[in-house]
A and B are shown apart, each in its own frame.
Chain A
Amino acid sequence: MSAEQLRIAIPSKGALEKPTLDLLATVGLRVYRPNDRQYVASIPALPQVEIIFQRAADIYTKVHEGSVDLGITGYDVVCEEDKEDHQVIVIYPKLGYGKCSLVLAVPDSWVDVNSIEDLAELTLLWKEQNRILRIVTKYKKLTRDWLFNHRIVNFALVDAKGAMEAAPSMGYADMIADVTSTGTTLRENRLKPILGGTILESQSCLIGNRQGLKSNPEKLRTTQIILELIEASLEAKNYTSITANVRGNSIEEIGMKFIHSPALRELAGLRGPTIAKVYTENPMDWYAVTVVVPEHKLLAAIAHLRAVGGTDITVFSPNYVFQETSKSSEALMAMLAG
């Protein structure tokens, strides 16, 4: 390990491990791990990078103390562990997987409690009776801060022992604050999330050590490369590339068709259609028109291409869409400057 190596911690042995490896592979940064028991690995495409496998919950701490430079972990963990000293910066907030919500949930039997206001009133009723609402959670900081912001103070946070969802029915807590993605576990344990009780929406994110990146231009450059690739790759998921053969007399004539039809103009791609001559034995002139459109406009685009005589339509997904600058790279520089 050389001093200039950029160390990245990624989640091991949890729900985030596989999607993280998949993401890195998709963006062109496949991780090479000689065997599953090793906790260090490399990225052949970027030899200056060292990968360290860590528990998702420990990754924030590693980045904070600076023993690794970057880390991929849940945004929920980042917010919960936040030391409020600005040492850890969120470099890429939404990696698009590991989505979940941190919610407040009460037993189904509490038919009088549906909203956060109902809960607030219950805590005040209990305060009169010298009773305190016990909430079991692994997210103590987030839960406390959020309830305080909603002016709810008569509660106590209880440590999670084993399966947290079972705590209310076992009796050592009254309700829970936990992450859920589908709500199945809550339902199975006869719990319901309360309206307006979502504390945080989370997904995987890329974080970094501010000081480490600021003081080492080599590491910063490598980070920018990684950001470029992630951004362009995730951006590409939003687009699709369509090529159709269109009959016409000249490139100009076909170009005009696209530019003058409002419906087509919207589908003309990131900048405008690319039109090229197709050489055929047939005396008719054929042209290949390529447009890149947002994914959700695919069928609309195909309909319009057909309407102007398009045929032989092929569709590809781009691997990357690079804009003229990388927004996340610029944002990183701004964060380091600030």
Chain B
Amino acid sequence: MADFTAEMAQLRRHVAQELLNLFHSHGYELVEVPIVEQTDLYLRKSGEDIVTQMYDFVHKNRRLCLRPEMTASVIRAYIEHFPALEPRKLCYEGAVFRYDLHQPYRQFTQLGVELIGKKSALADAEVIYTACCSLAKLGIASYQIVIGHMGVLLQFLRSLDLSDRLISLLLSGINLLDQPDGRNLLISQLQENYSQPPTAGALASVLQAMDTATARDSILKLLESLHIELNGNRDAQEIADRLIQKLKHRDQTQKIVRAVQFMAELIQLRGEPNTTLKRAEQVLANYAIDPQPLTELWSITDLLTQFGVGEVCLDLGLHRHLQYYTGMIFEVIHAHAGRLGGGGRYDDLIQTLGGKKSTPATGFSLQLEAICQALTNDSQRLVGKFFSPTAIALAYEHNPRQAIRLAQELERLGYGYQLVMEPTGELKTQWHIVAQADDSFRVIDNHNQTEITLSLPHVIPHLKSHDLSRRI
């Protein structure tokens, strides 16, 4: 975890404030949520990638964690404080914590919005537009919006009747497919765990012919006759049902190969929206998948054009490492600083976290550290632009009493100044004022390389008559 000092700290503060102002101007109300949450909040829906990186601990017998992301917390707050569950626009800023050896920051700051209660392409386009406005306000230009859709892949994997575990492993393996031999690697990794032992084959075909109740009954009787007791803290029926399911799901190899084949085709679908969507329609038709997600993407990209959002890239293989996304997902990729943030639609999360009715939602978050890197990359001098030191350094070592009198006068008139022991070249202030032992002041103008000795009543008129007419 990093310290930020001087100019970088100032820049961070500035960027955060600018972004929050922009969110406000787009109608988002600020919510503040605690840093420490109950671990369970994230176990329920955030997914393995996030959960394995959490700072998770037991304190006074309660399992707590430092929040690894903001959306789950904001949604929890939404459920608790807005019981009517009406449409809401919420925004937030806060530190999140993830233990990842390969990331530069284990604590980083997310700023983002959640648009809750609207399920439409317009809502999705609006959040993407808000993200673009945020970057425009900061003067960041060299980035690309990459849009995908979780619906395509999830729909296909569910149609294969794969277990949740296998779906999760497939999703996490999608990045492997970018590698030269990634496809075979992924298949062999999964096959290792999901090929059926040959002995179970015959039993599986017998069970396949039975209905569930008969099969369950047979299994329980079989186990009883073998004197295998099913007592303990698990339900006998659950054990029997899972055993049947396991035996019925014979060799999964064919399905794995099919799933990986589809994923490999999906990641090829990347590029300019119109042609990519046309190619995608073809692929989905080949696999007999409902093209609804593509219809949504058509509408979203069309709306973005109307919003004036320029270059957009579609990527049907895009995958964000949070499991709660259900529809459109997007990322903001900067030419030098990489991923600045992203977001998407999550229509199930609110109910999963205890909301009374199904409530659609969409949103995004930006990472402050990445944005600051993009800003400093775009212009090295930018950091200085946001850091405005005081114009006056008042050296008081030789005559504190006199210096304090001048300081009070500056304070009363609203001038910024800093008290120093001795003015040095490192101070970037325009004026160095040194209180002398004889109650006079040496007034040095660093910009114009002039120096004059004045008595107390003349110091401020002198400053006023020069550049310091503007109050800081």
Chain A interface residues (CB < 8 Å from chain B): 107-112, 115-118, 120-122, 124-125, 127, 132, 148-149, 151-154, 156, 168-169, 171, 174, 196
Contacts and interface: CB of A to CB of B under 8 A. Distances in A.
Q: Is the interface of A mostly helix, strand, loop or mixed?
A: mixed
B232 A109 contact: yes
Contacts of A108: 228
B158 interface: no
Contacts of A109: 228-232, 234, 239
B438 interface: no
Given A111-B228, A112-B242, A118-B242, 4 more contacts: A109-B229, A109-B231, A112-B239, A151-B48
A171 B233 contact: yes
A94 B229 CA distance: 41
Given A107-B232, A124-B164, A171-B233, A112 B246 contact: yes
Interface stretch (B30-38, B103-111, B165-173, B400-408): B165-173
A124 B165 contact: yes
Contacts of B242: 112, 118, 121-122, 125
Nearest to B249: A121
Interface of B: 43-44, 48, 51-52, 63, 163-165, 168-169, 172, 193-194, 223, 228-234, 238-240, 242-243, 246
Contact of A110 (B44, B63, B239): B239
A174 B238 CA distance: 14
Contacts of B193: 115-117, 196
B461 to A, nearest CB: 61
17 contacts: A109-B228, A109-B229, A109-B230, A110-B234, A111-B223, A111-B243, A112-B239, A112-B242, A115-B193, A121-B165, A124-B164, A127-B43, A149-B52, A152-B48, A153-B43, A174-B233, A196-B193
A158 to B, nearest CB: 10
Contacts of B63: 156
A169 B168 contact: no
A171 to B, nearest CB: 5
Contact of B51 (A110, A118, A153, A168): A153
Nearest to B52: A148
A196 to B, nearest CB: 8
Contact of B246 (A107, A118, A169): A118
Given A109-B230, A169-B232, A153 B246 contact: no
Nearest to B197: A114
A117 B165 contact: yes
Contacts of B233: 168, 171, 174
The 8 closest A-B pairs by CB, nearest first: A112-B242, A148-B52, A153-B51, A112-B243, A151-B48, A117-B193, A124-B164, A121-B165
A149 B51 CA distance: 11
A125 B165 CA distance: 9
A110 B44 CA distance: 25
A77 to B, nearest CB: 22
A54 to B, nearest CB: 28
A152 B233 CA distance: 21
B231 A117 contact: no
A124 to B, nearest CB: 5
A36 B246 CA distance: 56
A148 B229 CA distance: 31
Contacts of A168: 232-233
A151 B169 contact: yes
Contacts of B194: 117
